[in-house]
Amino acid sequence: MAEHVLVEQADGVLTVTLNRPAKKNALTAEMYAALGAVMTRADDDAEVRCILLRATGDSFCAGNDLADFVTAGRADEASPGHGPGADREPARRLPAAGPAATAPPPRSVTAGARSGARPGPGPR
């Protein structure tokens, strides 16, 4: 499943890329597990200051891959306690205040910039 969730880390930024463009990056149970493992690892890594979540293809994410979840549901029925998610830890609540809440503001934030765009007075 590593090919469907790509991870790169550089300069304090952990880039996580959903890489299943043929299925509009629809999430499978294995992709959820991989994303959870990446987030846990990032939480434990002092070098990670920011997580960038992106996707390949023309869609960010279509949601759940229903065929995968139907198949997983059948496996759960056949073998209770042994299907996808049976060994997962319960979700934990993040603290109300933490590094994200107390970090200094970024030096600059750019959104929607285009190559060759000229700065102007703004919307009219």
pTM of the model: 0.60
Domain assignment present for 45: yes
| Region 67-73 average pLDDT | 82
Q: For residue 73, what are the domain limits?
A: 1-13+21-78
Does residue 48 lie in a domain region?
Answer: yes
Looking at the DSSP bridge assignments, the partners of residue 10 are 13
pLDDT in the model for residue 70: 85
How is residue 17 annotated by DSSP?
A: E
Report if residue 6 sits inside a domain.
yes
Mean pLDDT of 78-105: 54
CATH number for the domain harbouring residue 28: 3.30.300.220
Domain count, the chain: 1
Residue 29 lies in a domain: yes
- Per cent of the chain over pLDDT 70 is 57
First to last CA, the chain: 48
108 lies in a domain?
no
The C-alpha atoms of residue 34 and residue 52 are separated, in whole angstroms, by: 15
Q: Which residues contact 3 (CB under 8 A, 6 or more apart)?
A: 19
pLDDT in tens, 14-57: 999 999 999 999 999 999 999 999 999 999 999 999 999 999 99
Dist. CA 61–CA 23, nearest whole Å: 9
In a domain, 92, yes or no: no
The verdict on residue 87 lying in a domain is no
